[in-house]
Amino acid sequence: MTAAAMDETTAAPPGAAAPAAGAAPAATGEQSTLAGVLERADALAVASPADAEPLYRRIIDGKSDLVVTPEDDVNAIKQASIIGLADVLIKCKRASEVATLTKTLHGYFATIPKAKTAKLVRTLIDHVSASEVTAEPGQSPEEAKAAHVKMQADLCEQTIAWCRTEKRTFLRQRIQGRLASLQLEAEQYTAALSGITELLREVKRLDDKAHLLEVQLLECRAQHALRNGPKARAALTAARTTANAIYVPLTLQAAIDMQAGVVSAEEKDYKTAYSYFYEAFEGFSSLGDSRAVSNLKYMLLCKIMVDLPGDVVSLSSTSTALKHSGREVDAMKAVAAAHSKRSLEGFESALNEYEVELKQDATVRTHLKVLYDTLLTGNLLRIIEPYSRVEITHVAELIQLPRAAVESKLSQLILDKKLNGILDQGAGCLVVFDDAPVAKTYQYGIDTLTNMDKVLNTLFEKAASLR
């Protein structure tokens, strides 16, 4: 093509105004279309998330300058933009704005099918849940985590209120289940159980077994957290009965096994608990779920509680366990080492070094408290065994614990009749008595009277038969 021809094809149409000097070039047709803007926003979301935000908002707000072609599915593009904007806000660490976005979209949700609305709302809540917990200046990690959970709970409550207004029963029930889970995480057990009880009643009427199974698992967790063992076991049994009637995804089956292990461990049946935790560990590990580490930790805890700390090292050295090595596993190794040496000092050191991994996990914390009490009792009895009278201060120095803690434990052992002695408060001493031999005369007398009672009863029966 000649230069003249090129000038002719690129020339402005008659009557058109010439572009002003220094003006920005007009946007191409592809970029000004709805699909073109979405494509550009998706590209920017990877390289520069902040620059992608205004483009997504243009699509969501339905700006009039965007061209809609016959090929464009407006609703699909708008929904993709909503998810993309949520991703961008999460990347920019502005998770709280996702809750605001959800509220502003209530009008749009009324125009699309209910199933699409449910999927969108749950996806937005999942994005907020998966967002990184960042602490504000002067805020501790625990406070930041609590604030993050509260933000999610507020979003759920706001969505539930909207669902009640719009009569979106299915979505409301799902979000109520998520809210109960968040309340359990925030240790608001009574409020969680109240919501779960109401939700169970509704879901049973609808006969939605898949959702019923999830709610029954939540009830088991709530009852276990409130130390109500029989009701936790009953809820777990109901969940397993429901699971037998439907297809259960691997994630949910692993969650059932994990909760069964927690309940069995609470009942001191550590061998059964270990087998449940092993099944849950394999399930979560095959899915790449982060809960696999928790189940591995609980497996090691069961080995420690049945007095097999030596198995902890071999179990944590297997090929599957090595994939999940880290501070969680190291914490249990430190506890196992202290337990094998019967060292209270090593136990305290492990608790202080791995405070987050050991003290912030309610299941581990409960069982380690029992283990610590057992170790303390055994060490105290071993120290005072050679003495008939010993100063409490001396015992405290030997066991390397505060005097008040030692005195309190000794008094508990005396009251529980595990130690035959008294505390001499004036002298600050423990007086240990020898175990008096049990006289057999009393037992012989009881046995004689029992046998005489049997003889007399037999004679009365025979006399009655002769009449």
What are the structural domains, with CATH classification, of the chain? 249-384 (1.25.40.570), 385-466 (1.10.10.10)
Across 97-101, 104-108, 169-173, which has the greatest mean pLDDT? 169-173
Tens of pLDDT along 301-355?
999 999 888 889 889 888 888 888 889 999 999 999 988 888 888 888 888 888 8
Indicate if the alpha-carbon torsion angle 81, 180, 235, 253 is positive or negative.
positive
Find the distance separating the first CA and the last CA of the chain, reported in whole Å: 137
Distance CA 3, CA 121 (A): 57
Cα separation, 192 vs 224, whole angstroms: 12
The DSSP symbol for 33 reads B
Q: Is the dihedral of CA 223, 229, 234, 236 positive or negative?
A: positive
Measured CA to CA, the distance from residue 180 to residue 235 in angstroms comes to 15
Q: How confident is the model at residue 7, as a pLDDT?
A: 40
Looking at the predicted structure, is the pLDDT value of residue 13 above 80?
no
Contact call for residues 58 and 33 (beta carbons, < 8 A) = no
Q: How many whole angstroms from its chain centre is CA 257?
A: 14
Nearest-angstrom CA–CA distance, 347 and 368:
10
pLDDT tier at 31, thresholds 50, 70, 90: very low
Beta strands in 286-351 (DSSP E): none
* Between residues 55 and 142, the one the model is more confident about: 55
pLDDT at 223: 93
* 40-79 per-position pLDDT tens digit: 888 888 888 888 888 888 888 877 667 777 777 788 888 8
Answer positive or negative: Cα dihedral of 137, 141, 142, 145: positive
User: What is the average pLDDT score of the chain?
Assistant: 84
Query: Would you say 384 and 432 are in contact if contact means Cβ atoms under 8 Å apart?
Result: yes
pLDDT digits (tens, 9 = 90+) for 370-402: 888 888 888 888 888 888 888 888 888 888 888
Strand order from edge to edge, sheet including 421-424: 389-391, 429-432, 421-424
The answer to whether residue 132 scores a pLDDT higher than 90 is no
Confidence of residue 37 (pLDDT cuts 50, 70, 90): confident
Element (H, E) at 365: helix 362-384
Query: In this predicted structure, what is the pLDDT of residue 403?
Result: 87
Q: What pLDDT band is residue 130 in, cutting at 50, 70 and 90? A: confident
